[in-house]
Protein backbone atom coordinates (compact mmCIF):
# COMPACT_ATOMS: atom_id res chain seq x y z
CA UNK A 1 0.00 0.00 0.00
CA UNK A 2 1.19 3.55 -0.77
CA UNK A 3 2.54 5.36 2.29
CA UNK A 4 0.49 8.29 3.54
CA UNK A 5 2.84 11.28 3.67
CA UNK A 6 0.58 13.34 5.98
CA UNK A 7 1.36 12.94 9.64
CA UNK A 8 -2.29 12.25 10.40
CA UNK A 9 -4.84 9.72 9.12
CA UNK A 10 -6.92 10.29 6.02
CA UNK A 11 -10.52 11.12 7.07
CA UNK A 12 -12.78 8.57 5.42
CA UNK A 13 -16.30 7.15 5.55
CA UNK A 14 -17.98 3.85 4.68
CA UNK A 15 -20.19 3.97 1.59
CA UNK A 16 -22.45 1.42 -0.02
CA UNK A 17 -24.60 1.05 -3.12
CA UNK A 18 -28.04 0.99 -1.50
CA UNK A 19 -29.88 0.92 1.81
CA UNK A 20 -29.04 -2.23 3.78
CA UNK A 21 -31.00 -1.26 6.89
CA UNK A 22 -30.88 0.95 9.96
CA UNK A 23 -29.17 -1.85 11.88
CA UNK A 24 -26.38 -2.13 9.25
CA UNK A 25 -23.26 -0.21 10.27
CA UNK A 26 -22.51 1.44 6.94
CA UNK A 27 -22.63 5.20 7.26
CA UNK A 28 -23.62 6.33 3.77
CA UNK A 29 -26.23 3.96 2.37
CA UNK A 30 -28.35 6.06 0.05
CA UNK A 31 -29.47 4.64 -3.31
CA UNK A 32 -26.51 4.18 -5.70
CA UNK A 33 -22.76 3.99 -5.10
CA UNK A 34 -22.20 7.18 -7.09
CA UNK A 35 -24.71 9.09 -4.92
CA UNK A 36 -22.81 8.05 -1.79
CA UNK A 37 -19.44 8.95 -3.30
CA UNK A 38 -20.78 12.40 -4.16
CA UNK A 39 -22.21 12.79 -0.66
CA UNK A 40 -18.87 11.81 0.92
CA UNK A 41 -17.09 14.40 -1.19
CA UNK A 42 -19.66 17.15 -0.51
CA UNK A 43 -19.42 16.53 3.23
CA UNK A 44 -15.66 17.02 3.03
CA UNK A 45 -14.27 13.50 3.44
CA UNK A 46 -10.88 12.75 1.89
CA UNK A 47 -11.53 9.10 1.21
CA UNK A 48 -14.01 6.24 1.30
CA UNK A 49 -14.11 2.55 2.11
CA UNK A 50 -16.44 0.80 -0.30
CA UNK A 51 -18.75 -1.80 1.24
CA UNK A 52 -20.57 -3.72 -1.49
CA UNK A 53 -20.95 -7.33 -2.56
CA UNK A 54 -20.37 -9.17 -5.84
CA UNK A 55 -17.61 -6.91 -7.24
CA UNK A 56 -18.06 -8.30 -10.77
CA UNK A 57 -21.30 -6.27 -10.95
CA UNK A 58 -19.27 -3.06 -11.13
CA UNK A 59 -17.18 -1.36 -13.77
CA UNK A 60 -14.23 -0.46 -11.57
CA UNK A 61 -12.55 1.79 -14.14
CA UNK A 62 -15.67 3.97 -13.96
CA UNK A 63 -15.59 4.02 -10.15
CA UNK A 64 -11.89 4.94 -10.30
CA UNK A 65 -12.71 7.84 -12.61
CA UNK A 66 -15.60 9.02 -10.41
CA UNK A 67 -13.54 8.98 -7.22
CA UNK A 68 -10.69 10.76 -8.97
CA UNK A 69 -13.06 13.50 -10.16
CA UNK A 70 -14.46 13.81 -6.62
CA UNK A 71 -10.97 13.92 -5.17
CA UNK A 72 -11.65 10.87 -2.98
CA UNK A 73 -9.12 8.17 -2.21
CA UNK A 74 -10.56 4.64 -2.10
CA UNK A 75 -8.77 3.33 0.97
CA UNK A 76 -10.39 -0.08 1.37
CA UNK A 77 -12.96 -2.64 0.29
CA UNK A 78 -15.33 -3.93 2.98
CA UNK A 79 -16.46 -7.52 2.48
CA UNK A 80 -19.01 -8.15 5.26
CA UNK A 81 -21.90 -8.15 2.80
CA UNK A 82 -20.38 -11.23 1.13
CA UNK A 83 -21.25 -13.04 4.35
CA UNK A 84 -24.53 -11.24 5.07
CA UNK A 85 -25.93 -11.28 1.52
CA UNK A 86 -24.06 -14.08 -0.30
CA UNK A 87 -23.35 -16.41 2.64
CA UNK A 88 -19.63 -16.78 1.93
CA UNK A 89 -17.62 -18.18 4.83
CA UNK A 90 -14.02 -19.38 5.10
CA UNK A 91 -14.97 -21.85 7.82
CA UNK A 92 -18.12 -23.29 6.28
CA UNK A 93 -18.46 -27.08 6.62
CA UNK A 94 -19.26 -27.01 2.90
CA UNK A 95 -16.05 -27.07 0.90
CA UNK A 96 -17.72 -25.46 -2.12
CA UNK A 97 -18.65 -22.42 0.01
CA UNK A 98 -15.04 -22.11 1.22
CA UNK A 99 -13.91 -22.34 -2.39
CA UNK A 100 -16.32 -19.58 -3.43
CA UNK A 101 -15.05 -17.40 -0.58
CA UNK A 102 -11.46 -17.96 -1.80
CA UNK A 103 -12.35 -17.00 -5.36
CA UNK A 104 -14.33 -13.95 -4.27
CA UNK A 105 -11.49 -12.63 -2.11
CA UNK A 106 -8.94 -13.18 -4.88
CA UNK A 107 -11.28 -10.98 -6.96
CA UNK A 108 -11.39 -8.30 -4.23
CA UNK A 109 -7.61 -8.29 -3.91
CA UNK A 110 -7.26 -7.85 -7.67
CA UNK A 111 -9.76 -4.94 -7.70
CA UNK A 112 -8.15 -3.37 -4.61
CA UNK A 113 -4.74 -3.43 -6.33
CA UNK A 114 -6.14 -1.01 -8.96
CA UNK A 115 -6.97 1.45 -6.16
CA UNK A 116 -3.98 0.85 -3.90
CA UNK A 117 -6.60 -0.06 -1.30
CA UNK A 118 -6.80 -2.59 1.54
CA UNK A 119 -9.23 -5.54 1.76
CA UNK A 120 -11.12 -6.35 4.95
CA UNK A 121 -11.32 -9.81 6.47
CA UNK A 122 -14.30 -9.54 8.76
CA UNK A 123 -17.50 -11.50 8.99
CA UNK A 124 -16.47 -13.94 6.21
CA UNK A 125 -14.36 -15.79 8.80
CA UNK A 126 -17.66 -17.40 9.83
CA UNK A 127 -17.97 -18.74 13.36
CA UNK A 128 -17.26 -21.82 15.45
CA UNK A 129 -20.45 -23.59 16.57
CA UNK A 130 -18.97 -24.23 20.05
CA UNK A 131 -16.24 -22.54 22.09
CA UNK A 132 -14.68 -26.00 22.37
CA UNK A 133 -14.15 -26.21 18.57
CA UNK A 134 -12.56 -22.78 18.21
CA UNK A 135 -8.98 -24.04 17.80
CA UNK A 136 -10.00 -26.35 14.96
CA UNK A 137 -11.86 -23.51 13.21
CA UNK A 138 -8.99 -21.07 13.67
CA UNK A 139 -6.61 -23.59 12.10
CA UNK A 140 -8.98 -23.95 9.14
CA UNK A 141 -9.22 -20.16 8.85
CA UNK A 142 -5.43 -19.90 8.84
CA UNK A 143 -5.20 -22.46 6.01
CA UNK A 144 -7.77 -20.46 4.05
CA UNK A 145 -5.92 -17.19 4.58
CA UNK A 146 -2.51 -18.41 3.37
CA UNK A 147 -3.29 -18.38 -0.40
CA UNK A 148 -4.93 -14.96 -0.01
CA UNK A 149 -1.83 -13.62 1.71
CA UNK A 150 0.30 -14.93 -1.16
CA UNK A 151 -1.92 -13.30 -3.81
CA UNK A 152 -2.06 -10.04 -1.83
CA UNK A 153 1.71 -10.02 -1.44
CA UNK A 154 2.19 -10.50 -5.17
CA UNK A 155 -0.09 -7.53 -5.90
CA UNK A 156 1.11 -5.40 -2.98
CA UNK A 157 -2.34 -5.28 -1.35
CA UNK A 158 -2.76 -4.99 2.40
CA UNK A 159 -5.22 -7.37 4.08
CA UNK A 160 -6.71 -6.25 7.36
CA UNK A 161 -8.25 -8.63 9.88
CA UNK A 162 -10.91 -7.30 12.24
CA UNK A 163 -11.46 -8.50 15.81
CA UNK A 164 -15.26 -8.81 15.96
CA UNK A 165 -17.64 -8.87 18.91
CA UNK A 166 -18.93 -12.14 20.40
CA UNK A 167 -22.51 -11.68 19.24
CA UNK A 168 -21.38 -11.95 15.59
CA UNK A 169 -18.66 -14.63 15.82
CA UNK A 170 -16.76 -16.72 18.34
CA UNK A 171 -13.56 -16.51 16.27
CA UNK A 172 -11.08 -13.69 17.08
CA UNK A 173 -13.01 -11.32 19.34
CA UNK A 174 -10.27 -9.36 21.10
CA UNK A 175 -7.43 -7.23 19.80
CA UNK A 176 -4.87 -9.37 21.64
CA UNK A 177 -6.03 -12.77 20.35
CA UNK A 178 -6.10 -11.35 16.81
CA UNK A 179 -2.57 -9.99 17.22
CA UNK A 180 -1.47 -13.44 18.33
CA UNK A 181 -3.19 -15.06 15.33
CA UNK A 182 -1.32 -12.67 13.00
CA UNK A 183 1.99 -13.99 14.33
CA UNK A 184 1.48 -17.30 12.53
CA UNK A 185 3.96 -17.79 9.66
CA UNK A 186 3.03 -16.45 6.23
CA UNK A 187 0.68 -13.72 7.49
CA UNK A 188 3.05 -10.79 6.91
CA UNK A 189 0.65 -9.22 4.39
CA UNK A 190 -2.06 -8.97 7.04
CA UNK A 191 -2.53 -6.29 9.68
CA UNK A 192 -5.29 -5.36 12.10
CA UNK A 193 -8.53 -3.60 11.30
CA UNK A 194 -9.53 -2.19 14.66
CA UNK A 195 -13.09 -1.04 15.36
CA UNK A 196 -13.91 0.96 18.50
CA UNK A 197 -17.31 -0.77 18.80
CA UNK A 198 -15.82 -4.25 19.04
CA UNK A 199 -12.86 -3.07 21.15
CA UNK A 200 -15.11 -1.36 23.69
CA UNK A 201 -17.09 -4.56 24.27
CA UNK A 202 -14.33 -7.16 23.99
CA UNK A 203 -11.07 -5.63 25.24
CA UNK A 204 -10.33 -5.33 28.96
CA UNK A 205 -8.68 -1.93 28.35
CA UNK A 206 -9.41 -0.74 24.84
CA UNK A 207 -7.17 2.33 25.12
CA UNK A 208 -4.20 0.15 26.12
CA UNK A 209 -5.06 -2.15 23.16
CA UNK A 210 -4.19 0.69 20.78
CA UNK A 211 -0.74 0.96 22.39
CA UNK A 212 -0.19 -2.80 22.26
CA UNK A 213 -1.19 -2.89 18.58
CA UNK A 214 0.81 0.19 17.56
CA UNK A 215 2.48 -0.27 14.16
CA UNK A 216 0.16 -3.14 13.24
CA UNK A 217 -3.08 -1.23 12.71
CA UNK A 218 -3.75 -1.00 8.97
CA UNK A 219 -7.22 0.56 9.17
CA UNK A 220 -9.53 1.89 11.89
CA UNK A 221 -13.33 1.94 12.24
CA UNK A 222 -14.97 4.60 14.34
CA UNK A 223 -18.27 3.31 15.71
CA UNK A 224 -19.60 3.98 19.21
CA UNK A 225 -20.77 1.30 21.69
CA UNK A 226 -24.25 1.55 20.11
CA UNK A 227 -22.73 1.70 16.58
CA UNK A 228 -23.78 5.33 16.14
CA UNK A 229 -21.52 8.31 15.48
CA UNK A 230 -18.90 9.20 18.14
CA UNK A 231 -20.49 10.72 21.22
CA UNK A 232 -23.77 8.74 21.04
CA UNK A 233 -22.59 5.93 23.29
CA UNK A 234 -20.02 4.95 25.92
CA UNK A 235 -16.69 4.99 24.03
CA UNK A 236 -14.37 7.70 25.39
CA UNK A 237 -13.48 9.43 22.13
CA UNK A 238 -11.25 11.99 23.84
CA UNK A 239 -9.08 9.12 25.10
CA UNK A 240 -9.26 7.38 21.69
CA UNK A 241 -8.08 10.56 19.92
CA UNK A 242 -5.28 11.04 22.43
CA UNK A 243 -3.96 7.49 22.17
CA UNK A 244 -4.08 7.55 18.36
CA UNK A 245 -1.93 10.68 18.38
CA UNK A 246 0.34 9.20 21.07
CA UNK A 247 1.08 6.12 18.89
CA UNK A 248 1.36 8.25 15.72
CA UNK A 249 -1.44 6.41 13.92
CA UNK A 250 -1.59 7.66 10.33
CA UNK A 251 -3.46 4.98 8.35
CA UNK A 252 -7.10 5.69 7.39
CA UNK A 253 -9.65 6.48 10.06
CA UNK A 254 -13.13 5.60 8.82
CA UNK A 255 -16.65 6.11 10.10
CA UNK A 256 -18.54 2.83 10.13
CA UNK A 257 -21.77 3.81 11.84
CA UNK A 258 -25.50 3.26 11.63
CA UNK A 259 -27.10 5.78 9.27
CA UNK A 260 -28.32 7.71 12.32
CA UNK A 261 -30.11 10.11 12.51
CA UNK A 262 -29.56 10.12 8.75
CA UNK A 263 -26.58 8.98 6.68
CA UNK A 264 -25.47 12.56 6.01
CA UNK A 265 -25.98 13.95 9.53
CA UNK A 266 -24.15 11.09 11.28
CA UNK A 267 -21.30 11.41 8.78
CA UNK A 268 -21.10 15.19 9.26
CA UNK A 269 -20.80 14.87 13.05
CA UNK A 270 -18.27 12.03 12.74
CA UNK A 271 -16.09 14.10 10.45
CA UNK A 272 -16.22 16.97 12.95
CA UNK A 273 -14.77 14.61 15.59
CA UNK A 274 -11.92 13.66 13.23
CA UNK A 275 -11.10 17.27 12.38
CA UNK A 276 -11.22 18.38 16.01
CA UNK A 277 -9.07 15.45 17.15
CA UNK A 278 -6.28 16.06 14.65
CA UNK A 279 -6.31 19.85 14.86
CA UNK A 280 -5.28 19.78 18.53
164 binds ligand LER, rule: CB under 6 A = yes
Q: Closer to ligand LER by CB, 30 or 82: give it.
A: 82
Is the bond into 261 cis (omega within 30 degrees of 0)?
yes
**Which residues 162-221 are close enough to bind Mn ion by CB under 5 A?**
195, 221
Distances (CA, A) of 94 to 110, 116, 137: 25, 32, 13
162 part of the interface to ligand LER, by CB under 6 A: yes
CB of 196 to ligand LER, least distance (A): 10
* CB-neighbour burial class of residue 37 (10 A; exposed 0-12, middle 13-18, buried 19+): buried
Binder to Mn ion among 82, 203, 224, 256 (CB under 5 A)?
A: 256
Binding residue (CB under 6 A) for ligand LER from 122, 126, 218, 241: 122
Query: Toward ligand LER, which CB reaches closer, 83 or 273?
Result: 83
- Nearest approach, Cβ of 178 to ligand LER (angstroms)? 13
Residue 168 near ligand LER by CB under 6 A: yes
What is the spatial distance between Cα 203 and Cα 90, in angstroms, rounded to a whole number?
25
> Of how many residues is the chain composed?
280
10, 17, 50, 80: which one contacts ligand LER (CB under 6 A)? 80
Residues 220-239 that bind Mn ion (CB under 5 A): 221
The set of long-range contacts for 200-206, using a CB threshold of 8 Å and a minimum separation of 24, is: 200/224, 200/225, 200/233, 200/234, 200/235, 201/165, 201/166, 201/225, 202/163, 202/165, 202/166, 202/173, 202/174, 202/175, 203/174, 203/175, 203/176, 206/175, 206/235
Q: Which is nearer to ligand LER, 55 or 66 (by Cβ)? A: 55
Binding site for ligand LER (CB under 6 A): 25, 80, 122-123, 162, 164, 168, 195, 221, 256
Binding site for Mn ion (CB under 5 A): 195, 221, 256
Amino acid sequence: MMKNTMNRPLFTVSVSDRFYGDSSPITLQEEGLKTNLELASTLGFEGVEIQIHTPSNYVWERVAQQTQELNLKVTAFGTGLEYGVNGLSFTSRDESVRQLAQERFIEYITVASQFDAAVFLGLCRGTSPRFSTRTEYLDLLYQQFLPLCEHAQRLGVLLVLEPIVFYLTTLLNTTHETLEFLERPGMEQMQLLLDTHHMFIEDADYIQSFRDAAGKIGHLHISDSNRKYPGCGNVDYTAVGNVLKEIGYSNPVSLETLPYPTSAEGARIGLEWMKKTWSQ
